[in-house]
Chains A and B, each alone.
Chain A
Amino acid sequence: MRQQSSEPKSDFDVRVERLFQQNMNAHRVRADRVFVYVMAGQWIFGIILALVLSPSTWAGKVQTTHVHVYTAVFLGGLISALPIALTFLRPGAPVTRHTIAVAQMLWSALLIHLTGGRIETHFHVFGSLAFLAFYYDWMVLIPATVTVAADHFFRGLLWPESVYGITNPEWWRFLEHAFWVVFEDIVLIMYVLRGLEQSRAISRPQVELEILNTSIEHQVQERTRELAASREQYRSLLETTLAVPWELDPDLVRFTYVGPQAEGSFGYPANDWLGDGFLVDHVHSDDRSLIPNLGKMAQNGKAEVEFRLRAQEGHWIWVRNIINLVNDANGKPVLRGIMLDITERRTLETELAQAQKLESVGRLASGVAHEINTPIQFVGDSVHFVRDTVKDLSGLLGKYQTLNESFSSGKVSAQMMAEIAEEEQDMDLPFLLEETPKALDRALEGLDRVAVIVRSMKEFAHPDQKEKTAANLNQAIASTLTIASNEYKYVAEVETDFGELPLVRCHVGEINQAVLNIVVNAAHAIADSIKGSDAKGRIRLKTRHDGNQVVIAIADTGGGIPDDIRDKIFDPFFTTKEVGRGTGQGLAIARSVVVDKHGGTLEFHTEVGQGTTFFIRLPIDFKPSEAVA
Chain B
Amino acid sequence: MSSSEALRDSKNISGGRMKEKVSSRMIVTAVTVWFLIVAAGLFAFTRYKSTPGDLVPAPGAWPPESELARTAGIPTLVMSSHPRCPCTRASIAELNELMSQFHDRLTAYVLFVKPAGVSHEWTKTDLWQSASRIAGVHVVIDENGIEAARFDALTSGQVVLYDGAGRLQFSGGITGARGHIGDNLGLRRVISLLSGEDPDRTDSPVFGCPLHDPEEMLKEHHDATTKF
Q: Report which A residues bind B (CB closer than 8 A).
A: 53-63, 66-68, 71, 74-75, 78-79, 81-82, 86, 89-90, 95, 99, 102, 106, 109-110, 113, 116-119, 151, 155, 158-159, 161-162, 164-167
Contact = CB atoms under 8 A, between A and B. Distances in A.
B221 to A, nearest CB: 14
B90 interface: yes
A200 to B, nearest CB: 28
Nearest to B210: A59
A59 B176 contact: no
Contacts of A56: 84, 86
Interface in B135-152: none
Interface stretch (B4-12, B62-70, B163-171, B211-219): B211-219
A486 to B, nearest CB: 94
Contact of B86 (A53, A158, A166): A53
A407 B213 CA distance: 207
**Chain A interface mostly:** helix
Contact of B213 (A59, A99, A151): A59
Contacts, number: 122
A161 B176 CA distance: 6
B143 to A, nearest CB: 13
A514 B163 CA distance: 155
Given A60-B216, A164-B183, A54 B45 contact: no
A165 B176 contact: yes
Contacts of A78: 34, 37-38, 41
B13 interface: no
A75 B50 contact: no
B213 A162 contact: no
Q: Which 3 A-B pairs have the closest CB atoms?
A: A165-B183, A60-B213, A54-B86
Contacts of A159: 46-47, 50, 177
Given A60-B115, A116-B89, A166-B183, A106 B42 contact: yes
A53 B27 CA distance: 36
A59 B38 contact: no
A161 B174 CA distance: 12
Contact of A166 (B30, B38, B185): B185
B46 A162 contact: yes
Contact of B42 (A53, A109, A161, A166): A109
Nearest to B42: A109
Nearest to A85: B30
Interface string B29-46: 011001101100110011
A108 to B, nearest CB: 11
B180 A162 contact: yes
Nearest to B34: A82
- Interface-central residue, B46, B90, B156, B185, by most chain A CB under 10 Å: B46
Nearest to A154: B43
Contacts of A59: 209-210, 212-214
Contacts of A86: 27, 31
A75 B27 contact: no
A589 B50 CA distance: 128
Interface of B: 23-24, 27-28, 30-31, 34-35, 37-38, 41-42, 45-50, 82, 84-87, 89-90, 113, 115, 117-118, 156, 176-177, 179-185, 188, 209-216
6 contacts: A61-B118, A89-B27, A113-B46, A113-B180, A161-B50, A162-B177
A63 to B, nearest CB: 8
Contacts of A95: 24, 27-28, 31
A75 B84 contact: no
B115 to A, nearest CB: 4
A162 B42 CA distance: 14
A75 B182 CA distance: 24
Given A90-B27, A102-B35, A60 B45 contact: no
B31 A60 contact: no
A109 B50 CA distance: 15
A360 B113 CA distance: 149
B179 A106 contact: no
A467 to B, nearest CB: 77
A159 B42 CA distance: 13
A75 B38 contact: yes
B80 to A, nearest CB: 13
Given A162-B49, A165-B176, A116 B209 contact: no
Contact of A106 (B23, B28, B38, B89): B38
A551 to B, nearest CB: 89
A21 B220 CA distance: 74
Contact of A118 (B82, B181, B210): B181
Contacts of B177: 117, 159, 161-162
A74 B46 CA distance: 15
Contacts of B49: 113, 162
B156 to A, nearest CB: 8
Contacts of B215: 62
Contacts of B115: 60-61
Contacts of A74: 41
A165 B184 contact: yes
Contacts of B212: 59-60
Nearest to B116: A61
Nearest to B24: A95
A166 B185 CA distance: 6
Given A118-B181, A161-B176, A162-B49, A60 B38 contact: no
Nearest to A98: B31
A116 B90 contact: yes
Contact of A117 (B31, B180, B188): B180
A74 to B, nearest CB: 8
Nearest to B48: A67
Nearest to B212: A60
Contacts of B211: 60
- Interface-central residue, A53, A89, A165, A166, by most chain B CB under 10 Å: A165
A109 B45 CA distance: 11
Given A95-B28, A165-B184, A67 B118 contact: no
A171 to B, nearest CB: 18
Nearest to B211: A60
A89 B42 CA distance: 26
